[in-house]
Each structure stands twice: as structure tokens, then as C-alpha cells.
Amino acid sequence: MQVLKKFFDNNKNWAAEIKKGDPDFFTKLASQQSPEYLWIGCADSRVPANEIVNMLPGEIFVHRNIANVVVHTDLNCLSVIQYAVEVLKVKHIIVCGHYDCGGITAALENSEHGLIDNWLRHIKDVYRFHQEEIDAQPNEKARLDRLCELNVVEQVANVCHTTMVQNAWKSGQPLAVHGWIYRVSDGILRDLNVCTTSIEEISRIQRIA
């Protein structure tokens, strides 16, 4: 008996459906990938990158982790950014957070969750940077929503501060870093308007001349 047979059946149907629209779709994809977008999103099953923006395989390079965090020393995420920027030469990096993020909620709690608490400390840092604004929100839901948004804003900055992104800008490579947020309860994506496209837009202390 095939394990998880449904997955293989679904896959066959999906591939056939795509080939109906474009018989050469997969053979063309096999020769190369040239996505223009890098998506850094949450691992949450309700926020699948390609699906929510209705894009096909080959269009978005994707990195996901809990609460869409870009940590200065995370070799996994940094390697993805390096490959996307230096080899694929993506034109856009999108940090996409979402409301009702379990990672954000857990980070605002004082209970112990195990190993993940060490990861969530990066979110607690975001809270610490913006404590006054978050605490001023009228209720718990508004506090969580605002932390979800500010976490995206901070991760956009972290992407911009990487040597890879700064070097791309220095060499004149067009590259925009965007911060978006998705609402699971209505399926709608919102732009947080923090798009950054040049080294002049980042704080002086972070610039590597």
C-alpha cells in the first residue's frame, strides 16, 4: 500500500491540469529557474506563498520559518538570500507576515514552549524595540496585530542590512525589499508600505560603505 496515496493522486491530477494549459510547462521549467521574487514568509500552513498570490512553480523563490524572522546569523535564511540575490538576481524580496501568527502569539506569552522559545526571543526583541507603541494598543488583539506588523517591518530592515543586499545595491543591481502582511481570516494581502530600494534608506550605523 502506498503511504499517503492521496498526495500522489493529487500530484498526478495537478501536473495533468497544468500540462493541459501548457504541454511543455515542466520540460521548460526543468532547464532553469529564473524567478524575480524571493518570498520570506511564515511556515504556517495557512499562508502558502505561491497559492495566495496565484503564481506557478518557477515564479517565486521561497524561504519560510516560524514567524518569518530574518536573523543576522541564520545561515539557512542568509544562504537563501545570497543565492536569490547573487545567482538568481531576483528583483524583489518580499517579507510576508500574517495576522494570527502562532509564533507571534507565543512570543507575547510568558509560558515555556521548549526549544522554540530561543527562536521566539527574536520576536520578543521586536516587542522590546516597540514596547511603548504596542502597549498603547487598546486590547490584546490589537497588540498582537501590531506586533505582527512591526515584526515584518523589522525583518525588512534585517534583510536590507545583510551584506548581500547592500552589495547588490552598491553594484547598481535593482532590488526592492517589501513588507507585506496577510490576513488568514479574509485571504487578503496588505502592503505595509516599507519598500526599501537603496542603501541611503537604511540607518547609517548599518551601512557597510
Residues that bind Co ion (CB under 5 A): 42, 44, 101, 103
CA-CA distance, 16 to 204, in Å (whole number)? 52
C-alpha cell at 13: 491530477
Residues with catalytic function: 42, 44, 46, 98, 101
Closer residue to Co ion (CB): 65 or 196:
65
Q: How far is the CB of 54 from Co ion (least distance, A)?
A: 21
Nearer to Co ion, 126 or 175 (CB): 126
DSSP string, 80-138: HHHIIIIIS--SEEEEEEESS-HHHHHHT--S--STHHHHHHHHHHHHHHTHHHHHTSS
Q: Are strands 176-183 and 188-191 parallel, antiparallel or unpaired?
A: antiparallel
How are beta strands 92-98 and 60-65 bridged, if at all?
unpaired
From the list 166, 144, 180, the residue with the least C-alpha distance to 68 is 180
Q: Work out how close the CB of 28 gets to Co ion at its nearest, in angstroms, rounded to a whole number.
A: 33
* Residue placing its CB nearer to Co ion in the complex, 96 or 165: 96
Q: Angle 96-177-125 (CA atoms, 0-180°, nearest 5)?
A: 60
Q: From the CB of residue 165, how many other CB atoms can be counted at a distance below 10 Å?
A: 23
Shortest distance (Å) from residue 68 CB to Co ion: 7
Nearer to Co ion, 44 or 149 (CB): 44
When the beta carbons of 91 and 183 are compared against Co ion, the nearer one is: 183
Smallest distance from the beta carbon of 44 to Co ion, in angstroms?
4
In the complex, the smallest distance separating the C-beta of residue 65 from Co ion, rounded to whole angstroms, is 9
